[in-house]
Amino acid sequence: RAAMAARAALLLLLLMAAAAPGPARGSQGDREPLYRECLSRCERQNCSGAALRHFRARQPLYMGLTGWTCRDECKYECMWLTVRLYQQGGHRVPQFHGKWPFSRFLFFQEPASAFASFLNGLASLVMLLRYRAAVPPAAPTYPTCVAFAWVSLNAWFWSTVFHTRDTALTEKLDYFCASAVVMHSVYLCCVR
């Protein structure tokens, strides 16, 4: 049975790879010549030498502590310049770096999503506390349900971090932890 399942999984992966589109070319906004030229100019003018020191000196402390760099600031400013020009021309707003543009609030890259993730994590914590107060530890699924709550709390924490500051690392942590919740949900269903 295990060998058959492994062969089925391998076949599924091969089929998915064969059906996958060609190499990624980036989002429409990333490919926009105006955006690329703005980004190049901004980095040249602001992200080296005395200009970089000036950027760091005037950057708010909370932005520096959350990892916003001069290049990130250039990408943000050039994205919104491009969006304004698209809107003025009556065109649809393009995606940048695989995501829709969001207005930053303080250091929160996606404030509404970060807040929603925080509230989901808070709800998970409240439910964990209520569960532990109502269900005796000797119950058959008690350890599995408590473990599920901790896996969920972890996922909502990393979701909040990811929506606060989108980096390659926070994106992976968000997606892998969300996948862990799904896998643990399947396990929990099987245990029940």
Angle at 145 between CA 139 and CA 149, to 5 degrees: 145
DSSP for 131-176, written as a single string: HHHHS-TTSTTHHHHHHHHHHHHHHHHHHHHHHHS--HHHHHHHHH
Residue with tokens 């929506």: 163
Domain boundaries, the chain: 27-101, 104-191
Phi, psi of 96 (to 5 degrees): -130, 130
- Three-class secondary structure of residue 89 per DSSP: coil
- Average pLDDT of the chain to the nearest whole number: 81
Predicted confidence at residue 23, as pLDDT, reads 47
pLDDT of residue 2: 54
Q: What angle do CA 12, 17, 20 make, to 5 degrees?
A: 125
Question: What digits encode the pLDDT tens for the residues 72-117?
Answer: 888 888 888 888 888 888 888 888 877 777 877 787 788 888 899 9
Give the integer Cα–Cα distance in Å for 67 and 59. Answer: 11
Q: What digits encode the pLDDT tens for the residues 165-183?
A: 888 888 888 988 888 888 8
pLDDT at site 180? 86
What is the pTM for the complete model shown?
A: 0.67
pLDDT for 23-50, tens place per residue? 455 677 777 788 888 888 888 888 888 8
| pLDDT band of 121, cuts 50, 70, 90 | very high
Are 92 and 86 in contact by the 8 Å Cβ rule? The answer is yes
Q: How confident is the model at residue 10 (pLDDT cuts 50, 70, 90)?
A: low
Q: b vs e for 103-136, b when ≥16 Cβ sit within 10 Å of the residue's Cβ?
A: eeeebbbbbebbeebbebbeebeeebeeeeeeee
Dist CA 38 CA 79 (whole Å): 9
Q: Are 102 and 109 in contact (CB under 8 A)?
A: yes
How much is the pLDDT for 170? 86
Q: Could you give the CA distance from residue 23 to residue 84 in angstroms, rounded to a whole number? A: 29
